[in-house]
Amino acid sequence: MKSAVCCIVFAFLGSSYAFLLGGPAHASCKVDWTFGTSCDDVKTKIKAQIAAWTSADGCASGGEKCLYTFKSDNSNTLTATHTTPVHHYVDDLTFTFTPTDASSCKVHGYSTSETWYAHLDSSTNYCNLRNLITGSALHQVSGFAETTSDKICTQFSSANCEKY
């Protein structure tokens, strides 16, 4: 009975947050980027950054630039996970690549918590994605642009990716 009440309370809080604040009902983030380089180049750099941050070494200073795991890669989609270093929550990451021409690429990034009751995440899902972009220096590529908002990215406007 006690666990049923907890489930109802969490469900209510999550749906209330989404309704009142306009954010996702579940801790997640959707981001769209444009890069002035080929999708093959963008994908290669993101994969290399995931590989560079697989160990716990990047967690030592209190950040979360660590514990990424590559899952799969097909022609236009790359998947990975990120595990938070303190509580070991797992978030699923998906990058979808759409070439706009030979020298530019649109990427849709999506991060979502595997924890079913997660509603607020202190912008962790945003930072899961953004840290890979900045870590691989893709944010410095000519033509870089990023689009997201609190409505599609949990707590985006309060993001501190040096912490997460």
Q: Mind listing the pLDDT tens digit for each residue in 39-52?
A: 999 999 999 999 99
- pLDDT of 79 reads 98
Q: What is the pLDDT of residues 79-95, one digit of tens each?
A: 999 999 989 999 999 99
Which residues, 6 or more positions from 132, have their beta carbon under 8 angstroms from its beta carbon?
46, 49, 50, 53, 68, 93
| pLDDT at 5 exceeding the cut of 60 | no
The yes-or-no verdict on residue 121 having pLDDT over 80 is: yes
Whether residue 17 is predicted with pLDDT greater than 90 in this model: the reply is no
Query: Residue 40: how many CA atoms within 13 Å on its side-chain side?
Result: 3
Mean model confidence pLDDT for the chain: 88
Over range 39-67, report the average pLDDT: 94
CA–CA distance, 108 with 106 (Å, rounded to integer): 7
CATH number of 2-158: 3.30.310.80
Residue 11 vs residue 161, higher pLDDT: 161
pLDDT of 155: 94
pLDDT at 16: 43
Q: Tell me what the mean pLDDT of segment 124-132 comes to.
A: 97
Quick one: pLDDT at residue 132?
A: 98
For the entire predicted model, the pTM comes to 0.85
